[in-house]
Chain A
Amino acid sequence: MKRLLVILCTTLIPFIVTAQETDAESWAKRDFHIKEVMVYGQRPMKEIGTQQTKIDSIVLKENIALSMADVLTFNSSIFVKNYGRATLSTVAFRGTSPSHTQVSWNGMKINNPMLGMTDFSMIPSYFIDDASLLHGTSSVNETGGGLGGAVKLSTKPADAKGFGLQYVQGIGSFKTFDEFLRLTYGNDHWQTSTRAVFSSSPNDYKFRNHDKKENIYDEDMNIIDQYYPIERNRSGSYKDLHILQEVYYNTGRGDRFGLNAWYINSNRELAMLTVDHGDDTDFDNRQREQTFRGVLSWDHLRNDWKIGAKAGYIYTWMAYDYKRDVGNGTMMHMTRSRSRINTFYGQVDGEYHIGNKWLFTANLSLHQHIVESEDKNIIRQDGGKAIVGYRKGRPELSGSISAKWRPIDRIGLSVVVREEMFGKEWTPIIPALFIDGVLSKRGNIVAKASVSRNYRFPTLNDLYFLPGGNPDLKKESGWTYDAGLSFAVGREGIYSLSGSANWFESFIEDWIIWLPTTKGFFSPENIKDVHAYGVELKADLNVALTKEWQLGLNGTFSWTPSINRGEPRTPADQSVGKQLPYVPEFSSTITGRLSWRRWTFLYKWCYYSERYTMSSNDISLTGKLPPYFMSNISLEKVLTFSWADLSLKGTINNLFDEEYLSVLSRPMPGINFEIFIGITPKW
């Protein structure tokens, strides 16, 4: 024990005693900056013709309690399907399914290879330094399979000088505690950072249950009265720990090395449905996860060329336990499933510039997945024990080459050719073509267009899950077309205004859907052809109203019909020509930020139109999800002392205390509050 104490002291004391100016400090002091207007001639060659949304770092670092699901909900055109507070949150990018969005972290794909999707509630936004959304065709620049698009998440060096420390404590409604600690050290060559987030809550918010009534009986068990009960969110507690270690080394002579290691330990109950008449003390429904993700990177940079290599590893252990009390306090398993995923990752990439007019890139990545799924323990016919599950491995190889050409300042052309191999099956060549051109230098008006083919292979569960996996599934395929205009105007230090309007069209064939069978389990089939199309609008305004008052407004609007164009399954099928269920046709977000001296007021608003719960778009009394509006606000004050910077922040979520559902039978919390205190010592 003494030895442990000595080690802890010798490790931590230097951090505390010698902390200097750090990135953490700039967080505490951060000011509002009017963005520079991008000059057309400086548009990066790599982004020719791409439709990209970059999430501002201020948004990512807004507060420690936010996950990437929260950030995307209020700051992008993506629809986030949220099953409740601190529960599974998946995304629908341009009206597609969650597995049609490819997600990478520091270059490594982090989509679950068994399920295909990513749970964005498990990614704390404080762990992400750069986040960008690649819409539709633009995702082919980075990866295949992104029929909706791709989300690129990465970390970057803190740019610290000496030691730094930042600690933030959040205390909120429903006994919610969020804690964040970051230790940094940096010099000319080295940058290290250790981040930790711990969030916990019983999450037992109150709501009036409109789906259920409680009965009052007389002595003869006749109902004499009924009422809608005020209930607590039952069985919804969570404890999530994330630790992120980063080490970067820059030789100063064109070589950079990086190590990123992220550990997650999550223990979440699965909240009971509004229509559950079980006693929550008799049931335990819980999901646990331990995940390690590590990436080693090397970049070698020269004036006109660059090569890089990455190696990574992901280990995920997931446990799902559904137990009930059998009468004597003994909890017995109704379901006990386990899954283990090992993923080995390697990547090489290179870039080569010829003057200012040509850029060639090449990229090759390999993800080798080895998965083990144990879904159920059974007793065989001979009396022995057996596990229902599967063990499979699959290599996923993806390679691309691209040529980007800017013959004159105003025009850029880009061709990307990608090919992928999953298991032993290859995709045909995946081509993508991008073009952009400056229509007006004055308003920096840029027109963009792109077209691409894309494929998505079935996930490992789609193919092998027992029972129901279908090894005969075909890969999904699609064509996507994009075209849009963007502009940017402004005066340095006074205002900036930018915006874009983008039209897109996607045709996806052989869409995979899991359907029940007469044997009591689900099985996937290639059944749908989907036509997703629409318009995405974005606008961003930053104004220095006076020397002390600054205003920022950011908004998005999407119209995303996602229409089933398949053949009717039966003569009675009413789903053809209808919007896919749970995909809103319209969505919008607005964020307003008003700063005065060291005060910042933030208003966030989002809107989703009604989501259908049936493929026929019928609206029934039991299947209604009306339009969704949400407003959150926060107020922050930064106090500067000689010994430290202090940040005080208060947030109010669900400002108007709406009683609402995001998904059927999953109530969301009413108005709730959290305060944050952050300290960044100076020494």
Chain B
Amino acid sequence: MTTKCVRLILLTLLLLHSSCMKWEYGLEEEFQNDASERGLFICNEGNFQYGNATLSYYNPETKEVQNEVFYRANAMKLGDIAQSMVIRNGIGWVVVNNSHVIFAIDVNTFKEVGRITNLTSPRYIHFLSDEKAYVTQIWDNRIFIVNPKRYEITGYIDVPKMTMESGSTEQMVQYGKYVYVNCWSYQNRILKIDTETDQVVDELVVGIQPTSLVMDCNNKLWTITDGGYEGSPYGHEAPSLYRIDAESFTIEKQFKFEFGDWPSEVQLNGTKDKLYWLNDDVWEMDVTADRVPVRPFLPYNGTIYYGLTVDPTNGDVYIADAIDYVQQGMVYRYSKDRELIDSFYVGIIPGAFCWK
């Protein structure tokens, strides 16, 4: 009887053992794109705390899209919340917010060439030289100074009137030796940083929560505020689009939106003379215009667009639709004449673009 029971136990163990649940390793794929080929990288944020951010690559000439290129080229995950990307000298720098990392990749092979780690909560990277760059953060009142060549954090810029908990620095543009930064979450300022001393030398108060920052062909900074939200102890107001003169660091124009509007994602075309942004619809405006157009560039079609970019060579407009934020998002490509040229699925929550 005892032997039978032991056999029964062993048989049960054997039957119930399975190896289907394996946590798989990736397989490295070889990519070799032409260095002269134009391309568009799409940072798909993924879901917060799920580590499913991905990088997509789109060829505007062939209209081919490759998804999960970072994973496929490197057999490892990109991380948690792919926030932004810039390219410098053939190297793409992908900022992965909640993974505390910036990956450097070869933009033709998508292979990693290095990484800067242990950042607090990085949002954007701006290069001053091959050996110096600034990295903005959320939940940190410091802008990190890094050496991209050595993949090292080399210093910090302390931002005044900001605690660690309420820290928020975002997009950066450079005019001469000064870098301008918009401060977004529970903030209302544009900072002016002297890149020689790495000090905040001036600040300009705009409206509540400036979301993005660009500089046009006339050296005018443009920022768009979201106005906060109802019930916020920081305030809630009608959002605005601001034009700021970079030289004098003063507001030249303010274009007010309706109270309750949610504008975001101010962008420029390749010649930097046309401004684009999202506010349910997609809007386009000449940088010299005195008022916001009456009609949108592309009307609202029932979804909240999450990302926007303009092809610097031909003015095609790309809009990202995150749909329900837990499936592959869709990118729509329109000509500057508002004709739909292409649409393609990318990763979860496509938020940022980067042109190669």
Contact = CB atoms under 8 A, between A and B. Distances in A.
A378 B166 contact: yes
Interface stretch (B68-76, B250-258, B267-275, B286-294): B68-76
A215 B323 contact: no
Interface string B58-100: 0000000001100110111111100000000000000010111
Contacts of B25: 210, 228
B176 interface: no
Contact of B235 (A332, A381, A623): A381
Contacts of B75: 213
Pick the most buried of B21, B150, B156: most chain A CB atoms within 10 A of its CB.
B21
25 contacts: A210-B76, A273-B98, A275-B99, A277-B118, A326-B142, A376-B165, A376-B186, A379-B163, A518-B264, A527-B324, A549-B5, A569-B303, A570-B301, A572-B345, A603-B12, A614-B348, A615-B324, A615-B326, A618-B328, A621-B26, A622-B54, A622-B77, A629-B18, A658-B19, A665-B51
Interface stretch (B32-40, B107-115, B214-222): B107-115
Contacts of A520: 184-185
Nearest to A389: B233
B54 A334 contact: no
A381 B234 contact: yes
A292 to B, nearest CB: 29
Contacts of B265: 518
A429 interface: no
B295 interface: no
Most buried by B among A324, A603, A667: A324
Contacts of A212: 76-77
A549 B4 CA distance: 11
A482 to B, nearest CB: 29
B1 A549 contact: yes
B52 interface: yes
A326 B328 contact: no
A575 B76 CA distance: 27
Interface string B141-176: 010000001110000100001111110000000000
Given A626-B20, A658-B21, A277 B100 contact: yes
A129 B193 CA distance: 64
Interface in B1-48: 1-2, 5, 8-9, 12-13, 16-26, 46
Contact of B166 (A221, A379, A655, A663): A379
Nearest to B111: A223
B226 interface: yes
Interface string A51-67: 00000000000000000
B1 A620 contact: no
A335 B232 CA distance: 17
Given A334-B165, A660-B23, A569 B323 contact: yes
B23 to A, nearest CB: 5
B76 A211 contact: yes
Contacts of A575: 323-324, 326-327
B99 A388 contact: no
Interface in A598-618: 601, 603, 605, 613-616, 618
B327 A277 contact: no
Interface in A355-399: 376-381, 383, 386-388, 390
Nearest to B51: A665
A631 B16 CA distance: 8
A210 B71 CA distance: 11
A618 B323 CA distance: 14
Contacts of A569: 302-303, 323-324
Given A211-B51, A613-B326, 14 more contacts: A210-B26, A221-B151, A334-B165, A335-B139, A515-B324, A569-B302, A570-B323, A574-B328, A594-B5, A603-B12, A605-B16, A622-B46, A623-B348, A626-B24
A627 interface: yes
B244 interface: no
A646 to B, nearest CB: 24
Q: Name the residue in A322, A590, A658 with the highest tally of chain B Cβ atoms < 10 Å from its Cβ.
A: A658
Interface residues of A, number: 94
A274 B264 contact: no
B325 interface: yes
Contact of A626 (B21, B77, B151, B229): B21
Nearest to A270: B49
A215 B114 contact: yes
Q: Which 3 A-B pairs give the minimum distances between C-beta atoms? A: A665-B51, A277-B101, A278-B100
A581 interface: yes
B204 interface: no
A596 B349 contact: no
Interface of A: 210-213, 215, 217, 221-223, 226, 228, 273-279, 282, 322, 324, 326-327, 332-336, 376-381, 383, 386-388, 390, 466-469, 513, 515-521, 527, 545-546, 549, 569-570, 572-575, 581, 590, 592, 594, 596, 601, 603, 605, 613-616, 618, 620-624, 626-629, 631, 655-656, 658-661, 663-665, 667
Contacts of A223: 112-114
B164 A334 contact: yes
A217 B152 CA distance: 13
A107 B193 CA distance: 61
A627 B21 CA distance: 5
A664 B98 CA distance: 14
Nearest to A222: B113
Most chain-A Cβ atoms within 10 A of its Cβ — which of B23, B68, B113, B226? B23
B326 A276 contact: no
A327 B306 CA distance: 36
B118 A278 contact: yes
A383 B161 contact: yes
A440 B162 CA distance: 75
Contacts of A624: 24
Given A213-B76, A276-B99, A658 B22 contact: yes
A570 B306 CA distance: 13
A551 to B, nearest CB: 8
A375 to B, nearest CB: 10
B321 interface: yes
B9 A572 contact: no
A276 to B, nearest CB: 6
B121 A334 contact: yes
Interface string B326-355: 111010000000000001010111000000
A466 B232 contact: yes
A527 B322 CA distance: 15
A624 to B, nearest CB: 7
Given A215-B112, A275-B80, A614-B328, A622 B52 contact: yes
A277 B115 contact: yes
B262 interface: yes
Contacts of B12: 592, 603
B120 interface: yes
Nearest to B205: A381
A212 B163 CA distance: 32
Contacts of B140: 324, 334
A575 B235 CA distance: 37
B20 A380 contact: no
A615 B117 contact: no
B54 A620 contact: yes
B188 interface: yes
B22 A570 contact: no
B232 to A, nearest CB: 6
Nearest to B229: A467
